[in-house]
Amino acid sequence: MARMTMIEAVRSAMDVSMARDENVVVFGEDVGYFGGVFRCTQGLQAKYGTTRCFDAPISESGIVGTAIGMAAYGLKPCVEIQFADYMYPAYDQITQEAARIRYRSNGDFTCPIVLRMPTGGGIFGGQTHSQSPEALFTHVCGLKVIVPSNPYDAKGLLISAIEDPDPVMFLEPKRLYNGPFDGHHERPVTPWSKHELGDVPEGHYTIPIGKAEIRRKGSAVTVVAYGTMVHVALAAAEETRIDAEVIDLRSLLPLDLDTIVQSVTKTGRCVVVHEATLTSGFGAELVSLVQEHCFYHLEAPVVRVTGWDTPYPHAQEWDYFPGPARVGRALTEVMEA
Partner 1 sequence: MSDLDRLSLHVPEPAVRPGGQPDFSNVKIPKAGSVPRPEVDVAPEDIRDLAFSIIRVLNRDGEAVGPWAGLLSDAELLAGLRHMMMLRAFDARMLMAQRQGKTSFYMQHLGEEAVSCAFRRALRKGDMNFPTYRQAGLLIADDYPMVEMMNQIFSNESDPCHGRQLPVMYTSKEHGFFTISGNLATQYVQAVGWAMASAIKNDSRIAAGWIGDGSTAESDFHSALVFASTYRAPVILNIVNNQWAISTFQGIARGGSGTFAARGLGFGIPALRVDGNDYLAVYAVARWAAERARRNLGPTLIEYVTYRVGAHSTSDDPSAYRPKTESEAWPLGDPVLRLKKHLIVRGAWSEERHAQAEAEIMDEVIQAQKKAEIHGTLHAGGKPSVRDIFEGVYAEMPPHIRRQRQKAGY
Nearer to partner 1, 219 or 288 (CB): 288
- CB burial of 190-223 (b: ≥16 within 10 Å; e: otherwise) equals bebeebebbebeeeeebbebbebbebbebebbbb
- Coil, strand or helix: which one is 41? coil
Coil, strand or helix: which one is 193?
helix
Footprint (CB under 8 A) of partner 1, residues 290-319? none
- Closest CA relative to residue 158, chosen from 70, 247, 76: 76
Asked if 293 is an active-site residue, the reply is: no
Which parts of 155-214 interact with partner 1 (CB under 8 A)? 165-166, 210
Q: Provide, rounded to whole angstroms, the least separation between the CB of residue 91 and partner 1.
A: 11
Instruction: Give the β-pairing of 213-216 and 244-248.
Output: antiparallel
Query: Could you say whether residue 101 binds partner 1 (CB under 8 A)?
Result: yes
Nearer to partner 1, 106 or 296 (CB): 106
Per-residue contact string for residues 61-100; x = within reach of partner 1 by CB under 8 A: xx--xxxxxx-xxxx-------------x--xx--xx---
For position 337 contacting partner 1 by CB under 8 A, the verdict is no
- Strands of the 251-253 sheet, one edge to the other: 53-55, 24-28, 76-80, 114-119, 168-173, 144-146, 251-253
CB of 252 to partner 1, least distance (A): 11
Are the C-beta atoms of 318 and 311 separated by less than 8 Å? no
Q: Which strands, in side-by-side order, build the sheet including 221-225?
A: 213-216, 244-248, 221-225, 270-277, 303-307
Q: Which of 33, 103, 128, 299 binds partner 1 (CB under 8 A)?
A: 103
Residue type, 36: G
Active-site pick, 129, 185, 195, 293? 129
The site map against partner 1 for 30-59 (x = CB under 8 A) is ---------------------xx---xx-x
Q: Which is nearer to partner 1, 57 or 188 (CB)?
A: 57
3-state secondary structure at position 246 = strand
- Total chain residues near partner 1 (CB under 8 A): 43
Q: Which of 23, 265 has the CB closer to partner 1?
A: 23
Pairing of strands 199-200, 2-3: antiparallel
Instruction: By CB under 8 A, name the one of 9, 16, 25, 273 that touches partner 1.
Output: 25
Given candidates 1, 107, 187, 296, which one binds partner 1 under the rule CB under 8 A? 107
Q: Are 246 and 230 contacting, i.e. CB atoms less than 8 angstroms apart? A: yes
* Interface map 250-269 toward partner 1 (x if CB under 8 A): ---xxx-x------------
CB of 157 to partner 1, least distance (A): 16
Work out the number of other CB atoms within 10 angstroms of the CB of residue 126. 16
Closer to partner 1 by CB, 67 or 232: give it. 67
CB 147 within 8 A of CB 273: no
List the catalytic residues: 129
Q: Which residues bind partner 1 (CB under 8 A)?
A: 25, 51-52, 56-57, 59, 61-62, 65-70, 72-75, 89, 92-93, 96-97, 101-110, 141-142, 144, 165-166, 210, 253-255, 257
